Amino acid sequence: MSRRSKALSVAGFTLAVAFMLSASDQTTQAQQRGGTNTPAAGNAPPSSIPMGGNKSVTRFFVTSKGPGKGGDLGGLAGADAHCQALAQAQGAGDHTWRAYLSPEATATTPAVNARDRIGGGPWYNSGGDLIAPHLAALHGSQSKLTKDTAVTEVSDEVSPETHEILTGSRPDGTAFPGNAQRTCNNWTSSGAGSAQVGYSDRKGQGDNPNSWNSAHPTSGCSEEAFSKSGGAGLFYCFAID
């Protein structure tokens, strides 16, 4: 073989090796990029999470604690602020939160229905579980509220010792008519009065022992009165957006 032929052969071999190394490097980089951006099937987030859109997925929770003043929640404004603060502490403050509470009509103000305060759904708990897609489902047979799903903002289950949840509402989420006194003086009393409660685990007593929002009225509005029947001044919080 001539010197010229040998040189051409060496040059061709060198180019071939360089091409293969370049292709291998590009493949490795592509695999690394894919590994960074595409989660493994076992680590993929639950299918419910994208329903949160550009905001945090949590859109419902039971308060892990009450304000500590029995039925005096500071009115609706105070209850809403409590929901917002608890959500904010867990990274869900990007939603606007409302307490599921119905104040009764007074001589100067109309009644407000809890169901009209909480938006239109869907609602997911802090674990990403669907609670209800809309209001009709929430107050009907499609509601997914149970002991396992009616959890706090930190995903803790509510203890049977504190499972009575303040609502002041009838089963359909509306306020009681007239002067029923089921709202601890519209959430400003920690003494006289009573509050309509439901059971977060749907296991209790009263006219509707399996109701999450309207089982029976409490015997009073103090922390002590709540505690005697299995409550702690907890309430439901829903995101309206």
- Total number of domains constituting the chain: 2
- 3 φ, ψ (degrees, to nearest 5): -60, -40
- Give residue 178's pLDDT: 79
The verdict on 188 and 103 lying in the same domain is yes
CA dist 75 and 61 (Å) reads: 19
Q: Average pLDDT, whole number, for the chain?
A: 84
Q: What is the CATH number of the domain that holds 191?
A: 3.10.100
- Give residue 40's pLDDT: 41
Count other Cβ atoms within 10 Å, centred on residue 3.
Answer: 7
The pTM is what? 0.79
State the greatest distance between any 2 C-alpha atoms of the chain, in Å, as a whole number: 112
pLDDT in tens, 148-168: 999 999 999 999 999 999 999
Residue 140 belongs to some domain of the structure: no
- Burial (CB count within 10 angstroms: exposed 0-12, middle 13-18, buried 19+), residue 40: exposed
Residue 147 belongs to some domain of the structure: no
Q: Which pair of tokens denotes residue 186?
A: 């519209």
The verdict on 10 and 67 lying in the same domain is no
Confidence of residue 206 (pLDDT cuts 50, 70, 90): confident
User: Per-residue pLDDT for 137 more than 90?
Assistant: yes
The verdict on 113 and 7 lying in the same domain is no
Q: Which amino acid does the sequence have at 4?
A: R
The verdict on 20 and 111 lying in the same domain is no
Confidence of residue 170 (pLDDT cuts 50, 70, 90): very high
User: Per-residue pLDDT for 11 more than 80?
Assistant: no
The residue range of the domain holding 27 is 3-43
